[in-house]
Structure 1
């Protein structure tokens, strides 16, 4: 018997230990199945599932869940044709799908953050890692210059910027994914005396409105919003590299989706 899905899952959760409450479960598939190939992705979209099938991979590890709900509530989707097609594709293929979200965020450092910092080539600027954020001490750079670095290194078309693009920044806070909530990001500005916060996603009526008022009051603040997927995809690419090194006998593929939005 070769390497099973269950053995890979156990290896993924081992650095953290078993969590009593988590969304990280095997969403479909048999845990005792021998793995023929692994696809790692941020989101298990229809495209990603079809790519796994085409590559002969029978195990998908994704950061987010497959059915448009953080808590796997599909009760409103039973008769939806998009849900039905996706569900049928998974069931007919026999692919197993494991969500790797809470555990990956609890690695030390956070696995998503580690991948994002590597992709941005900012690891040397890390001043301090917190559980859900990182403080960077930069050589002095403008908001515009930082935004250009992000776009070029992450391969994304645009970021959203609040504040004067020519503002010079040196102390920067980085939050990946849905961590732009006001209760998390707003205290971060003052706690670490930050010039700029960069995050993936958050409510627009919270942190951005705080930054709007701060700028109006003459304070030296700025905000860059990357997008949820754009901020977390590098962390899953990082995971794919780790798995490829650990399981050299199994083909491991990182599948990146196109950006969910476009500029028109």
Structure 2
């Protein structure tokens, strides 16, 4: 196959995605040229240097990601960092890699608009859990599990996901039988409050909540007020890897003629002893 222009890949992809979300700031084709000749597609949640090098080496030079290669996130985490990072050596090194023939398409907003629970549901499936119907925010799923403890739940997550850097709030012997699984990050206190409206929930499982935004302190205050509840944070890479595999399956359906690859999951954390 001789390849397709990046602009054609974008056009076909956006024909099956919610268009209004593709046009949000820092979404869609965020790096590289629409004229680049694309010979394959790499799905990589985080388009870091390792992923960019993999894309170049495997000829999967159209990268579909959840994050921005130059760290321009948008939303409440955007505080003018595009200007701040102008000329930054790390950003410029990545820019040079991308300009060698890569293109990066950020799918996050459009994907989450179409499938708001998919990040949480994909992680639940990877853990072997089946979501049950319950209330809560649009990105949260709830799973009933055989009665266990927060400590045992954490060990299961380590075994099944490979995550080494779990952050756990509450005592290890806290009883758990219903888990709220939800992406964290922005507005952590609101996300935690929504998850806890289900009175049967006794553990919240997320990627990351910002301490300064109240996610972890909210759980601490709930415990102090008498709620038997625990919080486990896995980190973004392990939490979001299952949805990368789901995105890859979706993209294969749109581009059956293209070579496809998924960047392998990684664990950037180690624990001090």
TM-score (norm 2): 0.84
- What is the CA distance between 1:255 and its match in structure 2? 0.7
Equivalent position of 2:138 in the other structure: 131
CA distance in 2, matches of 1:217, 1:110: 29
CA distance in 2, matches of 1:216, 1:17: 42
Equivalent position of 1:238 in the other structure: 246
Q: 1:191 to 1:162 in 2, by over 3 A?
A: same
Equivalent position of 1:218 in the other structure: 226
Alignment match of 1:262 (pick from 264, 267, 270): 270
Structure 2 residue 121 is matched with structure 1 residue 114: yes
Equivalent position of 1:188 in the other structure: 195
Alignment match of 1:25 (pick from 24, 28, 40): 28
Let me know the Cα RMSD of the aligned residues.
2.5
- The DSSP-based 3-state class of the residue aligned with 1:252 is strand
Q: Structure 2 stretches of 5 or more lacking a match?
A: none
Alignment match of 1:165 (pick from 172, 176, 192): 172
C-alpha contact 1:15 1:107 (8 A) present in aligned 2? no
Equivalent position of 2:66 in the other structure: 63
TM-score (norm 1): 0.87
Structure 2 residue 98 is matched with structure 1 residue 97: no
C-alpha contact 1:111 1:239 (8 A) present in aligned 2? no
CA distance in 2, matches of 1:18, 1:246: 16
CA distance in 2, matches of 1:164, 1:135: 21
Equivalent position of 1:141 in the other structure: 148
CA distance in 2, matches of 1:166, 1:106: 37
Alignment match of 1:76 (pick from 84, 94, 104): 84
CA distance in 1, matches of 2:112, 2:90: 30
- What is the CA distance between 1:41 and its match in structure 2? 0.5
- What is the CA distance between 1:147 and its match in structure 2? 1.2
How many residue pairs match? The answer is: 262
Q: 1:16 to 1:246 in 2, by over 3 A?
A: closer
Equivalent position of 2:217 in the other structure: 209
